């Protein structure tokens, strides 16, 4: 009985305690505090506190601008914290701060301060007034000593604006030494004799800044007069002078800053003053918003991660630069064109990317304001939009600074290389994804150390890739190389460790054992990658979609537009009604004389196996201009004609079709006797249960739905539509009837002449050979 009671007590304790532990763990992992906290001996700045802290300040400031997702920043954060602890006695002469540029609220001010890579260390002299006053803090390494010496050297280069609280760091002269005690009224004066390139004297001087009744000055080896007077033979050496005229050697016989400082602070009558309190400065309060943990399946690719990568590359990475031109603008154009061609996004996202691609093509110089305006989701284009905020699902980390954007960017690039190989299976030309990806990383990727590592790998072997499947394998092998290099580092998420991918539980045939060694089977790896990054493996979980009424409103607008075009009512060359304006360009820019029409490609492959894909009947948010040349693009013509026919046929009464209910989720729910609701995540799951795959769901909103015994399927009579381009059903029926009649006529003529020949052969007068 006692054992049974103990077991029951343990079970109750587990039920009560474990959920609480899990909840607190989830909360702590999702709270957005960046890499630093107010408990660190530095100032955690934000957009609202940065300028009022460093501008017109009597202190010199050294600020680290970082991104919490940047691997180099994660590895550098402990060093910066240690430096802050090392220099905390230098305040208020020198202040250290940090600002997280990955936070959405801080991105604008990071751009205003000219931050284009992470981490960036900037020094602001005392009484700075504008962002341009900040200068890059150059240092020889990421160790504490080199950083400390760089701060001193940079401060000495700006002696014209010296922090009032900072003691002089220049060497003392014999004339100044003679009347020093009368001038400064202190009890002790420590003289440190050192060589000209030594930082010991300056560091000890700053270490003693907050202590009263003592002063520290340095004497250079080149000052022969003082060196001779004190009979100094070893450098560094220290002497302690007292205001009563006594002089003694400081008992430190090595170049040790800590020993000198400790000796001087222990002197009788030396005490720490109250010249500075950390509470004098405003501090940024950390955000404690908690995001629920999203349960993700690593066998899936999530559209939320892919769209977040696109969002971050365009609105954050590319928006940091004050001007886009030359090679950087060319790299951006290639990247956006690549997304238009190969990114299997949702309809609204692809509309957005096509519009952006058309806007970019004619431009040779783009200012930061123009770019931000071009990227804005415009209310007049409700069906061409990007998500406002990134959402990590498969790429979420156990902490906000882990995984996230870098993980999603790798996924995006893997997806693009695979889609390029799948859509061009017989094209022997080299990959266009790899060069565009290389240029993006070179010109835009914020983590500069990561960009340099990637450029090194690209320079080593990217030119050897000869075909598109080779590009898929090249990126896979380099990603595994990066994982091997970073495994176990501070950037490695313990919950999602960096491994050689794919693991055996995901692809058992990708690894083979040869002579006792485990090797990769690249053919199996390629097959796995094509399946894993196929369109059929992209899931729309956690994405908030609009209300189904949005789709019906769009269909009604398209019906109206089609009707007016057919009736010949007033409309411009793009099919818009009189008075309807579309914002082709940004404010103050001219519309290009000729706009290129983007290629219209039919996505025949979505899951590794070619299959027909019916284009959506949702009309694009913008319409390309008609070509002025007398050349007809059959792809564009057939698609426009199909849309027109599909919109007409949708209005016809049918037993199994829905007239004004284009949203497949709404149709399904009504068939099951349920009420529609705004958040249709459950609807999409029901569609999956009925056999719908991602290639039918992505871009399927607005397509015709036909009911059969097994559920809902998309009509697949595309060959009929291609053969029937430009003809109505009546025209096709008449053609079939005429073909049949002509065939019968030819058969009758053949029969008549055959019988006629037999008749003449039977007559006696017919010549015989």
The phi-psi region of residue 691 (left if phi > 0; otherwise alpha if psi is between -120 and 50; otherwise beta) is left
Residue among 645, 626, 639, 647 nearest 727 (CA): 645
Q: Which of 70, 110, 395, 450 is catalytic?
A: 70
Here the contacts of 675-683 (C-beta below 8 Å, separation 24 or greater) are: 676/548, 678/547, 679/544, 680/545, 680/548, 681/541, 681/542
Q: Where are the beta strands (DSSP E) in 210-310?
A: 211-212, 214-220, 237-242, 247-249, 271-272, 301-302
Spatial contact of 216 and 204, defined as CB atoms under 8 Å apart: yes
Under DSSP, is residue 661 helix (H, G, I), strand (E, B) or coil? Answer: coil
Query: How far is the C-alpha of 612 from the C-alpha of 713, rounded, in Å?
Result: 13
- Cα separation, 263 vs 265, in Å, equals 6
Rg (Cα) of the chain, in Å, rounded? Answer: 37
Length of the chain: 769
Q: What contacts 668, CB < 8 A, 6 or more positions away?
A: 683, 686, 687, 690, 712
What's 547-598 look like in SS3?
A: CHHHHHHHHHHHHHHHHHHHHCCCECCCCCECCCCCCCCCCCCCCCCCCCCC
The helices-and-strands tally (H runs, E runs) of the chain is 26, 19
Rounded to an integer, what distance in angstroms lies between the CA atom of residue 675 and that of residue 685?
A: 16
Q: With beta carbons less than 8 A apart as the criterion, state whether 204 and 212 touch.
A: no
Contacts of 215 (CB under 8 A, 6+ apart): 167, 180, 184, 186, 188, 189, 190, 208
Rounded Cα distance between 215 and 212, Å, is 8
Identify the bridge partners of residue 674 per DSSP, sorted by sequence position.
none
DSSP for residue 426: T
* Phi, psi angles (nearest 5°) of residue 132: -65, -15
Secondary structure (3-state) at 457: helix
List b or e across 510-546, with b for residues whose CB sees 16 or more CB atoms inside 10 angstroms.
bbeeeeeeeebeeebbbebbbebbbbbbbbbbbbebb
Q: Residue 510 gets which letter from DSSP?
A: S
CA dist 208 and 521 (Å) reads 64
Residue 70: active-site member: yes
Per DSSP, the residues of 80-123 read HHHHHHHTGGGTTTEEEEEEETTSGGGHHHHHHTT--SBSEEEE
Say if residues 561 and 577 touch (Cβ distance below 8 Å): yes
Tokens of 522: 């690249």
Query: Do 111 and 181 contact (CB within 8 A), yes or no?
Result: no
Name the DSSP letter for residue 41: S
Q: What's the distance, Cα to Cα, between the start and end of the chain in Å?
A: 121
Q: Which 3 state secondary structure label does DSSP give 461?
A: helix
Residues catalogued as catalytic? 70, 73
């Amino acid at each position: 009985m006692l054992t049974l009671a103990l077991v029951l007590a343990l079970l109750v304790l587990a039920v009560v305690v474990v959920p609480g532990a899990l909840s607190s763990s989830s909360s702590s992992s999702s709270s957005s505090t960046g890499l630093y906290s107010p408990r660190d001996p530095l100032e955690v700045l934000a957009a609202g506190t940065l300028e009022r802290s460093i501008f017109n300040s009597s202190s010199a400031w050294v600020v680290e601008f970082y991104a919490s997702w940047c691997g180099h920043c994660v590895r550098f954060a402990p060093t910066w914290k240690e430096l802050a602890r090392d220099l905390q006695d230098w305040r208020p002469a020198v202040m250290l701060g940090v600002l997280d540029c990955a936070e959405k609220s801080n991105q604008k001010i990071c751009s205003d301060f000219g931050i284009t890579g992470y981490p960036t260390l900037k020094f602001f002299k005392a009484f700075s007034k504008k962002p341009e006053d900040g200068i890059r803090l150059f240092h020889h390494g990421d160790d504490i000593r080199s950083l400390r010496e760089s701060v001193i050297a940079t401060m000495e280069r700006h002696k014209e604006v010296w922090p009032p609280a900072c003691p002089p760091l220049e060497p003392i002269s014999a004339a100044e030494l003679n009347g020093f005690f009368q001038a400064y009224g202190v009890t002790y004066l420590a003289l440190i004799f050192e060589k000209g390139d030594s930082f010991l004297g300056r560091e000890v001087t700053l270490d003693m800044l907050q202590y009263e009744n003592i002063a520290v000055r340095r004497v250079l080896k080149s000052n022969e007069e003082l060196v001779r007077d004190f009979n100094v033979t070893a450098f560094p050496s220290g002497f302690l002078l007292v205001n009563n005229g006594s002089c003694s050697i400081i008992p430190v016989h090595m170049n040790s800053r800590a020993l000198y400082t400790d000796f001087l602070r222990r002197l009788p009558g030396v005490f720490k003053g109250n010249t500075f309190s950390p509470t004098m400065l405003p501090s940024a309060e950390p955000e404690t918003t908690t995001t629920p943990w999203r349960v993700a399946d690593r066998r899936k690719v999530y559209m939320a991660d892919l769209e977040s990568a696109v969002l971050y590359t365009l609105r954050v990475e590319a928006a940091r630069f004050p001007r886009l031109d030359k090679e950087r603008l060319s790299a951006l154009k290639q990247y956006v064109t690549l997304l238009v061609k190969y990114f299997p996004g949702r309809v609204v996202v692809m509309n957005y990317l096509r519009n952006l691609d058309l806007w970019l093509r004619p431009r040779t110089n783009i200012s930061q304001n123009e770019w931000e305006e071009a990227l804005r989701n415009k209310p007049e284009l409700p069906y061409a939009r990007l998500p406002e905020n990134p959402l990590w699902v498969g790429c979420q980390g156990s902490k906000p600074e882990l995984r996230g954007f870098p993980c999603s960017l790798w996924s995006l690039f893997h997806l693009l290389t695979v889609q390029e190989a799948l859509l061009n299976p017989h094209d022997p030309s080299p990959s266009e994804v790899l060069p565009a990806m290389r240029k993006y990383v070179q010109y835009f990727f914020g983590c500069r150390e990561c960009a340099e590592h990637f450029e090194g790998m690209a320079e080593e072997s990217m030119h050897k890739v000869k075909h598109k499947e080779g590009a898929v394998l090249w990126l896979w092998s380099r990603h595994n190389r990066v994982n091997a290099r970073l495994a176990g580092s501070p950037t490695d998420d313990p919950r999602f460790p960096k491994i050689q991918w794919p693991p055996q539980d995901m692809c058992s045939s990708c690894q083979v054992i040869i002579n006792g060694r485990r090797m990769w089977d690249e053919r199996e790896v390629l097959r796995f990658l094509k399946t894993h990054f196929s369109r059929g493996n992209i899931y729309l979980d956690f994405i908030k979609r609009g209300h189904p009424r949005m789709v019906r409103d769009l269909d009604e607008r398209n019906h109206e537009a089609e009707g007016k075009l057919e009736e010949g009512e007033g409309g411009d060359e793009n099919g818009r009604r009189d008075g309807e304006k579309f914002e082709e360009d940004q404010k103050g820019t001219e519309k290009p004389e000729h706009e290129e029409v983007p290629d219209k490609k039919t996505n025949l492959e979505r899951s590794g196996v070619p299959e027909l894909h019916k284009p959506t009947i949702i009309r694009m948010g913008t319409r390309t201009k008609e070509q002025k040349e007398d050349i007809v693009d059959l792809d564009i013509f057939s698609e426009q004609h199909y849309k027109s026919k599909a919109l007409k046929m949708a209005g016809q009464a049918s037993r199994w079709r829905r007239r004004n209910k284009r949203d497949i989720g709404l149709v399904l729910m009504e068939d099951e006797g349920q009420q529609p609701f705004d958040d249709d995540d459950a609807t999409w799951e029901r569609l999956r249960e009925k056999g719908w795959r991602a290639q039918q769901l992505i871009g399927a909103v607005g397509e015709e739905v036909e009911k059969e015994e097994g559920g809902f399927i998309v009509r697949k009579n595309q060959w009929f539509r291609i053969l029937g381009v430009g003809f109505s059903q009546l025209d096709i029926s008449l053609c079939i009837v005429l073909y049949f009649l002509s065939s019968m006529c030819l058969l009758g003529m053949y029969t008549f002449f055959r019988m006629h020949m037999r008749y003449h052969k039977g007559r006696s007068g017919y010549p015989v050979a």
